Amino acid sequence: MIKIAIQKSGRLYEDSIQLLKECGLSIDNAKGQLKAQVRNFPAEILYLRNSDIPNYVANGIADIAILGQNVVEEKEVNIHSLLALGFSKCRLSIATPNATSYSSVKDLEGKKIATSYPATLYSFLQKNNITADVHVINGSVEIAPSIGLADAICDLVSSGSTLFKNNLTERDIILNSEAHLYCNPQSYNDKNDLIEKLRFRMESVIRARNFSYVLFNIPNDKIDLASSILPGLKSPTIVPLIEEHWSSLHSVIEKANTWETIDELKKVGAQGILISKVSKMVV
């Protein structure tokens, strides 16, 4: 059995539960419980505070976990990433008041910086030979400059709306972060089959999120043209239709280029174009 640690509340929790369910895991997760069995896979889910999870994995209490890179970097623990999951993307950045003159990281020399990520910030300052006064704050870091506590902040940024509301400008990105599947090195050796089975399922689900399934009808003399438009894994599947001289083509396309691909297919005579969701993609 493997023990999987996930955040017990917040956006990372929602995304983690959704991913696990898409991987086929049936979880008895009653509200408020801290541990749950998976009915159809030899696993147990541990619902923990986000900041505590890295140490639980490092100590082997949990075998694997879904965590943001920013938390792992801050805790400086010996756990390994198995897979980037593509959600909870953000960045750890330096920001200063809009009116502050800022041309480079050297402008932080001698300044007061408020943050909830002191270890990551200290490492950044050290790499840039900057000496600054770091103030550790747990939450509401963005208010520090306006109340005179700091000249700058180091905090997580997603859309940038919180910085805007507090009259702050993002200056330097310290770390780009997203959720990863992390593991305890010893657990990976001892429980490799189970961990790899789940990693494989996650990889198949994550890959599928970037693609759509497309099928359409096309005159036979336009098949080569239509096939050249499709950026599929291999050549498309071709199914002859009852109507003479026509076929149906099936393939996958990247979601980001869906409308451009449809426009090109229409130009070469494609009809009855259908686009559907891909839930799993094994290559």
Q: What is the tens place of the pLDDT at every residue in 8-43?
A: 988 899 999 999 999 999 987 656 678 999 999 999
Domain tally, the chain:
3
Q: What is the pLDDT of residue 282?
A: 84
Q: What is the pLDDT of residue 261?
A: 92
What average pLDDT score do residues 102-114 get?
Answer: 95
User: Is 282 a member of any domain?
Assistant: no
Q: What is the pTM of this model?
A: 0.86
E strand or H helix at 72: helix 69-75
User: Is 132 a member of any domain?
Assistant: yes
Instruction: Say whether both 191 and 140 belong to one domain.
Output: no
Domain closes at, from 207, 228, 258:
207
User: Is 43 a member of any domain?
Assistant: yes
Residue type present at position 105: V
Query: 208: helix, coil or strand?
Result: helix
User: Alpha helices of the chain — where are they, by DSSP H?
Assistant: 11-22, 53-58, 69-75, 118-127, 161-165, 185-190, 192-208, 223-229, 258-267
The CATH number covering residue 65 comes to 3.40.190.10
User: Is 80 a member of any domain?
Assistant: yes
Q: Give the model's confidence band at 280: pLDDT under 50 very low, under 70 low, under 90 confident, else very high.
A: confident
Token pair for 151: 């000249």
Instruction: Say whether both 201 and 173 belong to one domain.
Output: no
Angle at 13 between CA 10 and CA 19, to 5 degrees: 145
CA 245 to CA 129: how far, in whole Å?
71
Q: What is the tens place of the pLDDT at every residue in 252-268?
A: 988 888 999 999 999 99
Instruction: Say whether both 71 and 187 belong to one domain.
Output: yes
Rounded (to 5) percent helix, strand, coil in the chain: 35, 35, 30
Instruction: Say whether both 22 and 63 belong to one domain.
Output: yes
CA 101 to CA 120: how far, in whole Å?
24
CA 6 to CA 67: how far, in whole Å?
7
Q: What is the tens place of the pLDDT at every residue in 114-146?
A: 999 999 999 999 999 999 999 999 888 999 999
Q: What is the pLDDT of residue 138?
A: 87
CA distances from 250 to 172, 173, 203, 207, 275 (A): 45, 42, 23, 18, 10
Rounded to the nearest 10°, the torsion over CA 142, 146, 151, 155 is 0
Instruction: Say whether both 202 and 216 belong to one domain.
Output: no
Range of the domain at 196: 2-87+178-207
CA 186 to CA 192: how far, in whole Å?
9
Q: What is the tens place of the pLDDT at every residue in 185-235?
A: 999 999 999 999 999 999 999 999 999 999 999 999 999 999 988 865 667
Instruction: Say whether both 70 and 103 belong to one domain.
Output: no
Has residue 166 got a pLDDT over 80? yes
Instruction: Say whether both 63 and 166 belong to one domain.
Output: no
Q: What is the tens place of the pLDDT at every residue in 38-95?
A: 999 999 999 999 999 999 999 999 999 999 999 999 999 999 999 999 999 999 999 9
Mean pLDDT (the chain, rounded): 93
